[in-house]
Structures are given as C-alpha cells and as structure tokens.
Amino acid sequence: MIKVLSFLCSVFIGVAAFAQRPIFDAEAMWQLKRLGSEIVSPDGSKIIFRTAYYNFEKGVENPKSKAEFHLMTFGKKNETIGLPNAENIVGNIKWLNNEEIIFFAQEKGKLHIMRQGVDGTNRRSLTPEGCDEFEEFIVSPQGNYIVALKSIKVQPTVQDIHKDLTKANAYVYDDLMYRHWDSWNDGKAKQLFLYEVDNGTIGGSGINLLEGTPYHGVIPPYGGLEGVTFALDESKVLYVSKKLVGKEFAVSTNSDVYEYAIKTGHTVNLTPANKGYDTHPAYSPDGSQLAWLSMAKDGFEADKNDILLLVDGATTNLTKEVDMTVSSFHWAEDGKSIFFIAMHQATAQFFELDLKSKEVRQITKGIFNYTSLHPRGKYIYATRQSMLHPNELYQVAIKTGEAEELTDVNGEFLDDYGRPLIEQRWTTTTDNKKMLTWVVLPPDFDETKKYPTLLYCQGGPQSAVSQFFSFRWNFRVMASQGYVIIAPNRRGLPGFGQEWNDAISKDWGGQAMEDYLSAVDAVKTEKYVDEKRIGAVGASYGGYSVYYLAGIHEGRFKSFISHCGLFNLTSWYGSTEELFFANWDIGGPYWLPENKEGYVKNSPHTNVAKWDTPMFVIHGGKDFRVPYTQGLEAYQAAQLKGIKSRLLYFPEEGHWVINLHNSLLWHREFYGWLKETL
C-alpha cells in the first residue's frame, strides 16, 4: 500500500468523530504490530522489515509475542510478501549482496548463522564454534569476515574463589559500578570476536579484539554493534569502547573509537583528545574519510552531539556551528554530503550537511518523528511515528522531502478507534520565553464539555517531548480515556538549542518547575479544561517533577502519579550507579560544602511538609538508576502525613515496566487511581 502524504497545514491532527467506537486502551495498544529492523538492499531495490505483535486470543493466559519478516520489492506496486524460508529466523538479518542475506536461525534447539538467497533458496549454515553465545554479529563489506558480540568472564566469581561453597548466592565487590540499570555486575564483559569466512564457512573460535582486558567492546549495558564497522578493504575493524573500570567508569562518559588492524592485531585509539562520548563511526563510500558522533564534555551524557570528520589525520567538527544535537547520520552515496536526524522543535527530522559548503538543509517538516535513516539513490527509506501512530515505513524524496507511506500495518486496526487531536501551541514562561507545549485532546472532542486534565512531566531530564509513540507512556491511550494532556517541552529538552537543553543541569527544581506551572496556567484557561480536576504524572525525572510539584503547586493539582521518581537526592546519590550523571546534573557529592544549598533547593523531600494531595507511587525492584527505596521513602512520607496514597511495586521490573501482564496491571491501577482522585 502507498499513500502520498502532504505536509500538515494545521497544528491539528484528527479525523471526523464517529459514534460508538471502542475505547483505545492498554489491551488495544498491546495488539498493535511493532515494525522495525528494516534493512535496504545495497542497490535500493528491496527492503526487509520485521513486525512483532501479541496475539490476544480468548483463553490464552499469557499471549506470546510473534514475529514475521517481510520482503518488499520496489516498483510500480511495491509488492510485499513474507520473506521466503523465514519460519525459524530469529533475527539479525544482513544483506550480503543484492540477492543474498545472512541471519540468525534456530534449528534443532541451537542458534545458527545461516546464509540463503533472498528468495529462500540455497540455504546453508556458516555456524562457527560457540555460536549459541553470540548476541549479535555484523558482516564485512566483501563478506570475508564477521565480528560477533558475546559476553565472557573477565573477573572471578564467588564460586571461583570459594570452590567448596557451590550453593553460595552472593556477590563480593571492591570497587564501584557493581550494578548497572537493572543488573548486578557478574564479572562478565561484552567483547568482540573476529572470524574469517573461508569457502562459505566461519571457522575457529575467533580472535578476541579485547583479549586479556576487562573492557567492553560496546557501550554497556544496552549497546550493540552500532559502534562497530569494517574498513571497505577489510583491513581494519573499528569499534567503540569505554576502556575504564571501577570508579573511573562510574564517573566518566569518555568512550573512544578504536582501530584494530586485522593482519597485525595492532589497536590504535583514533580519538584520544576527545573527552566525552565518541560513537557510531562510519567510513565514507570511498573509504577515504571517517565520520563519527562526538560529545565534548566528559561526564555530560546529554551534551551536544556533533559529527566529526577525520581526513588525512586531521579532525574537523562539521556541526560545530549548528545549534542542534545529532542523533544519527548516514553518508550520501556520492560521499559529498551526510544525512542526519536531529530534534527540531519537538519533532525528529531529516537534514543534509554539504561537506564542501558546510551548509545544512532541512529535508522534512511535519508533526512526526523519523526514527531511522537509510539513504539509497534519490530516496531515504525510514520508519516514522507520531503520538497517535506507531512506526510505519516511508520513502522520502531527498530533494523535496515529499514522503510516501510504504506500509500501513496498523491502519485498519486503528481505524476502529477514535482518534485524539494534537494541538501544537507556544506558551510564555515566567522568564518571558516561548515554550512549545503539546495539547492532546480526547477523541470526539467537544469544546463545550469540561475534561479532566493531566500534566505530563517528561523524564531524562534531557529527553524531548516529541512525536514519539510509547508503549508505556502512551498519549493516545491517555487521551482516549477522556483526559486532556498537557505535555510541555520545558527547560532541559533538546530541539530548541543547546542553551535551552543545558539550562536544567544543577537547577532541577528551578526554572523547569516554573515552566510546568506556566504551561498548566496557560492551558487551564481553556473552557474545556476542568480546573478542579487536574493531575500531574511522570516517570524518572518526570516522577521527580511530580514529587517536587507536590510541594509547590499551591492547589493547582488534585492528584499525582510518580513512576520511578527521584525523591531524596541525598540518598539517591548514595545508591545510583552512573555517577557521571549525578555529578553533572546535581553537582556532585552531597558532603561537599559547595553542594549543600543545591541539595536543599532541588530535593523534593525537603518540601514534604507542604504535601496535601493524593499521591500514587510506582516503582520497580530492579531499578538501579533510581533505586526502589526512593519510592518507598515518598510513599512512607505520604502515609505518615495522612495523605491518600498508594504504592504499586514490581519486584522483577527495572526502570521501565516491560512484562505484558505487569504493563496491563500498571495501566489498570494508573487509570483506577485517576478515576478515584480526579
């Protein structure tokens, strides 16, 4: 299916109201197909993509996720079929050439690396020793090598040291970073193994590019092979690593791009002068230039992300004068320009950087986010989403920005439900600046009615309130329950210049809180907002915001919901793991005299005496970024003050609620609480 889409001429998105439609709720959201993992053939004639979904059949106690792989061939009809011979493909599909693919497959209970024609023919195994331990792999340009990612033991465990205590269940640590996000340090590191492909077979046990070191060959804990690439002549492998351990790892973001020479085994650091994150290296099409993403400041994970270029030993910052932060990029096929995605006024758009003139051209405009980037010929192939619709595939003309929708995997399903309206408005802050605020209105909106309203507080804190479609904090679900949503792009969010982004650091309880209140005060003047039924909700820094607003809101809100929020910054500093984040954004240790005033000003627990409004606290037991004790402290304070309060605790969830049944429970309790209190 193809649809030609024009740019939006209005700040409203919506369709005519239909009576008696079902309500779009969490159960409906979980039935949506999730499209992604798209890969375009080298010649741009075909694309393979994946859809995953849950089958909610009656009587099935716990529906399982199902995945399907699809092959689209571009032409007059853009024919799409199921990828042939894909029944046991697990994923990690790569193009070897225009007619062959390589992938993970599950056969006879084991994981294999397989190769076959894109038409499903001539299938054979390339499986090397230890393939079951692989997490991911990439293939070299000519197909003569692969690099695989797997976790190996780099430090002894309790059982290694105390061999007779086979049933001991404990960890022993002598340094920091003993846990990360949702996992305890088990003595393993994700390292990279290089294999040679000989006559179509991957042989041997591979060469460990980080042999004898305790370092990761990727950025842990969730980083993959997006930071690994081959030279076009296959003489070198580049990879990204933060070669630090212990306390140094915990307080620094200094990753670097390393070059491993395949013939000699020699490794060189290509970015020793850069002190922040260096990631995503990519050679130009002719192999003569190397580009990568770089942040200048060590310890600042939300610093401006620039494109750096290395040519003949000299490095140039290509986007130094561009007041945007780059999230991803891709070389143009002629090597004369670079395409990139950046946040611009709360939407993720395509841009083109001309290498000769250094000028930047915005390719796309509209109320949506592009979430991937695959340029081929005259087009960019990409996934796109909005607050109301999850990812679909698009073809974007590079010259004009005109977009054609290539898939519509959820359109028929979503047509059964009412569609909320999205309004983009600019509100004035207390320091007389303009702030973009999204206002999401319920389906079948009637401006003569009064609606309960929710202030959405974003996490991060430097994470844009853009046109994202979240399967956790979903604006379509919220609005479909009959709520107006106010979602401000308050101080600290990218897409409005680096000054706006940086303003929140060391001022968490300052101007950002004023921005929230400014947005609420502006929107609540609308006759459709019920001033007596306004709540505030959010997670992470958004959860912090809820706790903070509870002490300063002066009667604006009738209900609060905080998910994994920071409550007591002193105890949080003593239990979180990535201390570079706390050091940069909070100012460092609470015991330093120069930080005393900041902890008092910015910690929500110092304003608990002013709490007087119902508070719902949600937290995960495996959340090590914001440990669950933060939620317990807040809940206990509310209880002891006699405030209506509730605690929802998920022992096996981390910073996010991912399990299907836990998610459904989260939504039921979330909206149940709002029904009680708003």
Active-site positions?
540, 623, 655
- Which helix (DSSP H) or strand (DSSP E) does residue 662 occupy? helix 660-677
At 564, list the tokens.
Answer: 């994994």
Q: How far is Cα 639 from Cα 633, in angstroms, rounded to an integer?
A: 10
Give the H/E segment covering residue 633: helix 629-640
Residue from 394, 411, 414, 412 nearest 403 by CA: 394
CB 155 within 8 A of CB 178: no
Q: Is 49 helix (H, G, I), strand (E, B) or coil?
A: strand
- Would you say the C-alpha torsion 586, 592, 598, 604 has a positive or negative sign? positive
Torsion of CA 412, 466, 343, 522, to 10 degrees: 140
Residues 6+ apart with CB under 8 A from 163: none
Q: 138 to each of 67, 119, 304, 340, 417, how far by Cα in Å?
A: 21, 21, 28, 22, 41
Burial bucket for residue 470 (CB in 10 Å: 0-12, 13-18, 19+): middle
Contacts with 174 (C-beta within 8 Å, 6 or more apart), sequence order:
none
Q: Is 132 exposed, middle or buried (0-12, 13-18, 19+ CB in 10 A)?
A: exposed
Judge whether 540 and 459 are in contact, CB under 8 Å.
yes
d(CA 555, CA 534): 10
Two structure tokens written together for 345:
């006024």
